[in-house]
Chain A
């Protein structure tokens, strides 16, 4: 559900508008060049051959594993893991305020989406969903803490309705959330959802409908904790953040990512499937914008295969590959670490570390969008139905693209450390703990190189759809 390619398109549309209205034509088109974000910035800054760029990224992760494995003091690792401070809980007023903001944002989205201007950069619905929510709010979920349960307007509305309280089928587990997440990203890729406010509003209303139905049948708690893809996604990102809810219910400040060493919330293969889906969707969204994908898809589409089917197949095959790579690499620890821990248990314990990687990707793909379009959002919000004629776009400096590359690497480094701490928690022998990470480290190197490759390709709109 990456906004990168689409928001780049949004910005490209903004340019002629802005240039017609403004004398500041030059700065606007430069903004557009930069709002291309990570891809354009890396194109400018990377002067080494692509293979060397990728190899360096992979080597940084590999070397960081070697460096982390030099830290062998159990007490020290645990101290980093458990360091924390209790934080005062947000008061009732703050909770009511958050709920109000959430519901108001949904209301504005629907009204502006249905009756506002059609141009995406002038429409509050498009900007609220893609800039305010997907770029900025999700960013805050893993950089600060997940406030979605407090804000969630879908839950506020659905929770106000009576429920039949049917028991949620346990065997479904997280698979509905995984399917929902993949479906949302699929729709985002194959439909012009960033360009068409009406379509976007239709999806938001449909999502509200599904949430209300699910909540009425199974009860709000069961639905939003287990099956709602957006709540699950933000909860997963929130585990990377320094501020999280502790077991006793109070807010607690920890070192970033250290909540990921706790895998109690991962109950089985379904939850592992969800975590891998979170990592996969950003990669998928980036990949379908590359020329390599066009090269793969063109013969198939020209041979008469429906483009929608080709995209669906690519998504399912890609997701299957990601999941298989992770499960195989976690299973490899059985051999490398010489342990009798079950393969499922190993996969379960190492899975949360992948979320640090996902957060790094998300930052890389969305920071430029969040920065460049947030003034646009602010100005459009002042008058959602008839926005001012001149709409500002923040000129994002080129180094922001470098921050994206650093975020991809930073996410992986955090993941390596989380895996290290997890291994120390699992294995009594420290050498065994080091060896248990061989498999997941190889998988992380593979993910890093794949995502850096996508980030270094010139991006574009997905073809044929």
Chain B
């Protein structure tokens, strides 16, 4: 349990003062980032803030709810999905992140299609030989 407390500390250290002030308002809107604002304080050792930022790691922190992210892109996407009323920069960052995400997804789809085809023909072959 002390481990969890330590991780909660680490997370809150990563949060700057302004974001902590905005914490309360953000927890209302929490949705896909609901885990971020999960209000339940652990009845049985459940971490109050379910984050664990390794010491020395750079955290990109959401300015509204304080959720730490390992990549800027994750934070930008989170802002657009969970928090309403983005300012101009945030909106632009969100849209850029979405484009980048879409490109990566396309690449992943091609790879996964290739793997499906390989699985299919691999098993076709195996059944022909062994079945």
Contact = CB atoms under 8 A, between A and B. Distances in A.
A23 interface: no
Given A342-B52, A345-B35, A428 B82 contact: yes
Interface string A44-75: 00011100100110010011001101101010
Interface residues of A, number: 44
A426 interface: yes
A21 to B, nearest CB: 44
B81 A340 contact: no
Contact of B119 (A49, A63, A170, A267): A63
Contacts of B7: 342
Contacts of B43: 170, 267-268
Given A63-B119, A429-B74, A340 B52 contact: yes
A343 B105 contact: no
A340 B127 contact: no
Interface in A250-271: 264, 267-270
B101 A430 contact: yes
A338 interface: yes
Nearest to A425: B32
A428 B35 contact: no
B40 interface: yes
Interface in A75-117: none
Contacts of A342: 4, 7, 47, 50-52
Contacts of B52: 334, 340-343
B20 interface: no
Given A349-B35, A425-B34, A428-B81, A344 B47 contact: yes
Nearest to A269: B45
B32 A267 contact: no
B74 A66 contact: no
A341 B50 contact: yes
Interface in B50-101: 50-53, 57, 59, 68-71, 73-75, 77-78, 81-82, 97, 101
Contacts of A63: 116, 119
A338 B44 contact: no
B127 A170 contact: no
B33 to A, nearest CB: 7
A340 B119 contact: no
Contact of A267 (B4, B46, B108): B46
B112 to A, nearest CB: 4
Contacts of A426: 32, 35
A393 to B, nearest CB: 35
Nearest to A426: B35
A429 B109 contact: no
Contacts of A47: 131
A434 interface: yes
B108 A434 contact: yes
Contacts of A170: 43-44
Contacts of B104: 431
B39 to A, nearest CB: 11
A52 B44 contact: no
A402 B97 CA distance: 47
Nearest to A175: B44
Given A67-B116, A70-B109, A340 B59 contact: yes
B50 A267 contact: no
Interface of B: 4, 7, 11, 32-35, 40, 42-47, 50-53, 57, 59, 68-71, 73-75, 77-78, 81-82, 97, 101, 104-105, 108-109, 112, 115-116, 119, 123, 126-127, 130-131
Given A334-B52, A425-B35, A428-B33, 13 more contacts: A55-B126, A59-B119, A59-B123, A62-B119, A66-B116, A171-B45, A341-B52, A342-B4, A345-B50, A425-B34, A428-B81, A429-B74, A432-B74
Ranked nearest first, the 6 interchain pairs of A and B with the lowest CB-CB distance are: A345-B50, A428-B78, A342-B52, A428-B77, A173-B44, A268-B44
